[in-house]
A and B are shown apart, each in its own frame.
Chain A
Amino acid sequence: MQTTLTVNGEERRLDHDVRTSLLDALRDHLGLTGTKKGCDHGQCGACTILLNGKRINACLTLAAMHEGDEVTTIEGLGTPEAMSPLQSAFVTCDGYQCGFCTAGQIMSATGMLAELKEGMPSHVSPSLSEGSEMTDPEVAERMSGNLCRCSAYPFIREAIAMASEDK
């Protein structure tokens, strides 16, 4: 079947199996292998992308469901020569080791910062309606869908804090 969607600002037409996940479509059909597959079951966050501006696990949705949608992947954030503030903060803070969870962490953090700005509460927010400050416990809670077995957690959060101050 065919699906047309916008990926990193470019219109892409896919010819795919009905069973193809959005993750496999991005990786195997479009060659955007920066997005990783760590579990294929929504348990690790390595496949996090932005769908119409919101973070999702690309392994948990089928490509067929995204006709006309807008997808941003790690490749759409920056390049090695021109990194986004989050990307360069990850390098500065050593917010990774093997780098396999990293695209997911960065995409998730990008989405998370926007959620925080919109006042979306989390499980640890003091109030459901009044938004919350960007404290470390807030960020830790909101980033807990992104596993890092290298366990760079403190440095990932340091990078997120650094990048959000830069803005």
Chain B
Amino acid sequence: MTRTFRMDEAQPRLLDDTAQGVIGTPMDRPEGPLKVTGKAAYAADNLPEGLAHGALVRATITRGRIAGIDEDSIADLPGVIAVIRDDRFVRNPAQGMADEAPVQPGDRIDYHGQPIALVVGESYEAARDGALRLKVRYDEDAGAEVDPATASETEDGDPTESGDWDKAVAGATVSVDVTYTTPAQVSAAMEPHAAVAEWKADRLVLRGSQQMLRFNRNEIADSLGIDPEDVQILSPYIGGGFGSKLGIGSEAVSAAIAARELGRPVRVVMTRQTVFDAVLRRTETEQRVRFAADGEGRLLAIGHDDRISNLRDEEFAEPVSSASQFLYGADALLFRQTVARVHRTPAGSVRAPGEAVGMIAFESAMDELAEALEMCPVQLRLKNIPEKHPVTGQDFSARALAECLKTGADRFGWPGRTVPGSRREGDWMIGLGVASAARPNMLVKAAARVRLSAEGAVVETDMTDIGTGTYAIFAQIAAEMLGLPTGKVSVRLGDTDLPGASGSGGSFGASSSGSAVFLAARKIRETLAGKLGCSPEDLTLRDGIARGANHEAALSDLLDGELVEEAEIEEGKTAESHFSSGFGAHFAEVAVNAWTGEVRVRRMLGVFGIGRVLNEKTARSQAVGGMVWGVGSALHEDLVHDPRTGHVVTRDLANYHVAAHADIPADMQVEFLEERDDQANPMQSKGVGELGISGSGAAILNAIHNACGVRIRDLPATPDKLVAALEAATE
């Protein structure tokens, strides 16, 4: 194995000097033609010979034990092959990067909807019918707590604090103390979780829909009690993840167990309802945000407390105040968290855990402070950008927050913003809103291999592309580094037999795993320089020609056979010395109907600093996708639980509204500022997938306030709430 490269110091900006000119360009996705013609095969599209179909059975009690499963109840249903019930079944998906089996509860039931058995049939119809009819007996424990607001079992995290809170607050001219609530939400990736399991001799081949294969392999091996070497996971195409496919879940574990037991391949595809019941949700939150400021708008105190929930034995706790801890500075800081233990579908990572909901409250409260100060919200933000990380004291690496706010304000026409409730077009009240964007950037251990031959280059890694653009970006990195047209690079992803990458999550995938591709290609450049007889610094590679020190040669002449290099990267000293984060600014214009309370988003602009942009087109798509999620979290999304059982009531796409075409205007603009983050990784790039959602919901809420003077603090801002508030205002 190769030595792991540690990011201990800033690296030369090699990608600014390479000659191919493809890095950063808005190149089309190379796998695009397969996707638009239906030829890209997702997990459930695999139909191996002899395939049997599995349907998951869910618990219909909230807490207790399975007393018995009456297999005879479906024994005479035609086409039913088996009822699979096994102590290795998992309670819920593994949390992101768990690297080990999730909770395996045996007979215990911890939430309504927990998958407890699998009915396997010759056909999908038979399995589905069997799963619905199967008789299960329970020993129910009465009185399971399901309400996070009243749960008796709570855990308080260690507070993060600095400065003298009381003194800072006492010296304030203006202060804000407000409470926001956000409902639970779900990822709702369009592809339901699916697995096709097949055993080849003693080796499991799992075609799954997974985001982080390096971890997922260990998770399923641990779940099944087998050696990770005996598992191969294939996920070349994934129909969206957003955190919901970070860890191995019930569909994969049950399919693997059933396939082993029956000696034939088994496919398990969750129904949409099961995806809602049994895949990790985003916690609901109650957040108290406090600001104290002097008369000029300088912040003296920043406080952000939250109460969230999760099921017992789940360590994940939504880091609600993540961005609140470094966006602005103040003399005193206080951040506290309480986790309530409830018997609901457990909580986990959903796109931008922390910022996605934390920034809604925090950045809306900033708007409230600006209003109280009678100050421009953009100016208030600009005024409070701290010099160093307010909690850790670290230097920031590249930070474009101020630039993004200023550029965005100019471009969006922000100076034209009028006082709340003063702009009207017929029945519609129009308003503008702003919010900052921030999402910390990480470098996660990742490996990749690059092969170069006269035919071109091949990139190989178990990294995934969940729609994020990995196929395109890796082709661009390799092409840029090796001086090849992108068409000469092929990218192989999503196979655990390839070098283990970071996986897709936390917006770190493209930069972390891409850096491994970059480093492997950099080694090949060194070899090529040696062959040509020049130093690596003098080497120029372009369109298959190597030049340097007055030599020139075609790559095909320099190579005898194939050059193969593998590289691995992990974070190093720069992660301690510097705090790296994507930053940005969101601007929104909304119209609020004076009579119906309907909110229409008219246009949005996001300006972001994400270091080097690797592919302008896919980065823009990611950013817009996040901004649309911001619209959803501000206006629509609301996972409702039955107050008696905790059961998810809004368990399909008709009852849980995700933004549709008609909700989203054509005018969704994105601008990336020219930036290099030298401390982040050797490519000077940062993540983008979650930055778009971080703060965008607040820009919408702030625009609503500017339109009609109403503050909605209990999300989502649905028409009923707006109508009630508008009526109350006129009384």
Q: Which residues of A contact B (CB under 8 A)?
A: 17, 19-20, 24, 27-28, 31-41, 43-44, 46, 73-75, 77-81, 83, 87-88, 90-92, 94, 96-103, 106, 136, 139-141, 143-158
B391 interface hit (Cβ, 8 Å): no
B125 to chain A: which residues have CB within 8 Å?
17, 19-20, 24
How far is B658's CA from A152's CA once the two chains are assembled, in angstroms?
13
How far is B124's CA from A88's CA once the two chains are assembled, in angstroms?
34
How far is B660's CA from A154's CA once the two chains are assembled, in angstroms?
11
B38 and A149 within 8 A (CB):
no
* Contacts A36-B191, A43-B653, A99-B35; A155 near B621 (Cβ below 8 A): yes
- Kindly identify which residue among A35, A98, A154 contacts B624, using a CB–CB cutoff of 8 Å: A154
A-B contact pairs, 12 of them (CB 8 A): A20-B123, A33-B44, A37-B269, A38-B272, A38-B653, A40-B272, A74-B38, A98-B191, A144-B661, A147-B190, A149-B240, A151-B627
How far is B624's CA from A5's CA once the two chains are assembled, in angstroms?
41
How far is B40's CA from A31's CA once the two chains are assembled, in angstroms?
13
A66 CB to closest chain B CB (Å) equals 17
B617 and A94 within 8 A (CB):
yes
Mark B638-672 against chain A: 1 for CB-CB distance below 8 A, else 0.
00000000000000111000111110111110000
How far is B238's CA from A79's CA once the two chains are assembled, in angstroms?
21
A41 and B272 within 8 A (CB):
yes
A152 to chain B: which residues have CB within 8 Å?
621, 624-625
The CB with the most chain B CB atoms within 10 A, among A34, A101, A145, is that of A34
The CB with the most chain A CB atoms within 10 A, among B36, B129, B652, B660, is that of B36
How far is B664's CA from A38's CA once the two chains are assembled, in angstroms?
21
- Kindly identify which residue among A24, A75, A97, A99 contacts B124, using a CB–CB cutoff of 8 Å: A24
A75 and B653 within 8 A (CB):
no
Q: Which residues of B contact A (CB under 8 A)?
A: 28-29, 31-42, 44-45, 47, 79, 123-126, 129, 187-192, 237-242, 269, 271-272, 466-469, 617-618, 620-622, 624-625, 627-629, 652-654, 658-662, 664-668
- Kindly identify which residue among B33, B467, B624, B659 contacts A80, using a CB–CB cutoff of 8 Å: B33
Besides A17-B125, A99-B36, A150-B625, 9 other A-B contacts (C-beta < 8 A): A33-B38, A36-B42, A36-B239, A43-B653, A91-B32, A94-B620, A149-B190, A151-B629, A152-B625
A97 and B660 within 8 A (CB):
no
- Kindly identify which residue among B34, B41, B242 contacts A33, using a CB–CB cutoff of 8 Å: B41
Q: Is the interface of A mostly helix, strand, loop or mixed?
A: loop
B42 CB to closest chain A CB (Å) equals 7
B37 to chain A: which residues have CB within 8 Å?
34, 74-75, 77-80, 83, 87
- Kindly identify which residue among A94, A98, A145 contacts B240, using a CB–CB cutoff of 8 Å: A98
A87 and B240 within 8 A (CB):
no
* Contacts A90-B36, A154-B664; A37 near B192 (Cβ below 8 A): yes
* Contacts A28-B124, A149-B658, A152-B625; A102 near B29 (Cβ below 8 A): no
How far is B36's CA from A81's CA once the two chains are assembled, in angstroms?
11
B625 to chain A: which residues have CB within 8 Å?
97, 150-152
A21 CB to closest chain B CB (Å) equals 9
A146 to chain B: which residues have CB within 8 Å?
661
How far is B662's CA from A140's CA once the two chains are assembled, in angstroms?
5
B272 to chain A: which residues have CB within 8 Å?
38-41, 43-44
A154 and B38 within 8 A (CB):
no
B435 CB to closest chain A CB (Å) equals 18
How far is B35's CA from A83's CA once the two chains are assembled, in angstroms?
11
B188 to chain A: which residues have CB within 8 Å?
149
Complex: chain B residue closest to A145, CB-CB? B660
How far is B237's CA from A33's CA once the two chains are assembled, in angstroms?
13
A110 CB to closest chain B CB (Å) equals 12
How far is B191's CA from A102's CA once the two chains are assembled, in angstroms?
11
- Kindly identify which residue among A98, A103, A147 contacts B653, using a CB–CB cutoff of 8 Å: A147
* Contacts A28-B124, A154-B624; A99 near B40 (Cβ below 8 A): yes
A148 to chain B: which residues have CB within 8 Å?
190
- Kindly identify which residue among B35, B187, B658 contacts A147, using a CB–CB cutoff of 8 Å: B658
A150 to chain B: which residues have CB within 8 Å?
190, 240, 467, 621, 625
How far is B191's CA from A142's CA once the two chains are assembled, in angstroms?
22
A37 to chain B: which residues have CB within 8 Å?
44, 192, 269
A102 to chain B: which residues have CB within 8 Å?
35-36
How far is B662's CA from A146's CA once the two chains are assembled, in angstroms?
10
B503 CB to closest chain A CB (Å) equals 15
A140 and B239 within 8 A (CB):
no
Complex: chain B residue closest to A98, CB-CB? B467
A140 to chain B: which residues have CB within 8 Å?
661-662, 664, 666
How far is B47's CA from A158's CA once the two chains are assembled, in angstroms?
35
A33 CB to closest chain B CB (Å) equals 4
How far is B122's CA from A101's CA once the two chains are assembled, in angstroms?
28
How far is B38's CA from A79's CA once the two chains are assembled, in angstroms?
9
A98 and B658 within 8 A (CB):
no
A88 to chain B: which residues have CB within 8 Å?
36
B156 CB to closest chain A CB (Å) equals 35
A83 to chain B: which residues have CB within 8 Å?
33, 36-37
Complex: chain B residue closest to A90, CB-CB? B36
B191 and A34 within 8 A (CB):
no
A85 CB to closest chain B CB (Å) equals 11
Across the A-B interface, give the 6 residue pairs with the lowest CB-CB distance, nearest first.
A34-B38, A100-B239, A98-B467, A97-B467, A99-B35, A151-B628
* Contacts A149-B188, A149-B240; A144 near B660 (Cβ below 8 A): yes
How far is B37's CA from A87's CA once the two chains are assembled, in angstroms?
7
B28 to chain A: which residues have CB within 8 Å?
91-92, 94
* Contacts A73-B38, A74-B37, A153-B628; A94 near B621 (Cβ below 8 A): yes
* Contacts A33-B38, A103-B38; A151 near B624 (Cβ below 8 A): yes
A20 to chain B: which residues have CB within 8 Å?
123, 125
A98 and B239 within 8 A (CB):
yes
A73 CB to closest chain B CB (Å) equals 7
B47 and A28 within 8 A (CB):
yes
A37 CB to closest chain B CB (Å) equals 7
A34 CB to closest chain B CB (Å) equals 2
B44 to chain A: which residues have CB within 8 Å?
33, 37
B242 to chain A: which residues have CB within 8 Å?
149
- Kindly identify which residue among A27, A31, A80, A157 contacts B661, using a CB–CB cutoff of 8 Å: A157
A97 to chain B: which residues have CB within 8 Å?
240, 467-469, 618, 621-622, 625
Complex: chain A residue closest to B53, CB-CB? A28
A87 to chain B: which residues have CB within 8 Å?
33, 36-37
B629 to chain A: which residues have CB within 8 Å?
151
How far is B34's CA from A91's CA once the two chains are assembled, in angstroms?
10
A157 to chain B: which residues have CB within 8 Å?
661, 666
B467 to chain A: which residues have CB within 8 Å?
96-99, 150
A151 to chain B: which residues have CB within 8 Å?
624-625, 627-629, 659, 664
B35 to chain A: which residues have CB within 8 Å?
96, 99, 102
- Kindly identify which residue among B39, B466, B664 contacts A153, using a CB–CB cutoff of 8 Å: B664
- Kindly identify which residue among A27, A34, A44, A92 contacts B190, using a CB–CB cutoff of 8 Å: A44
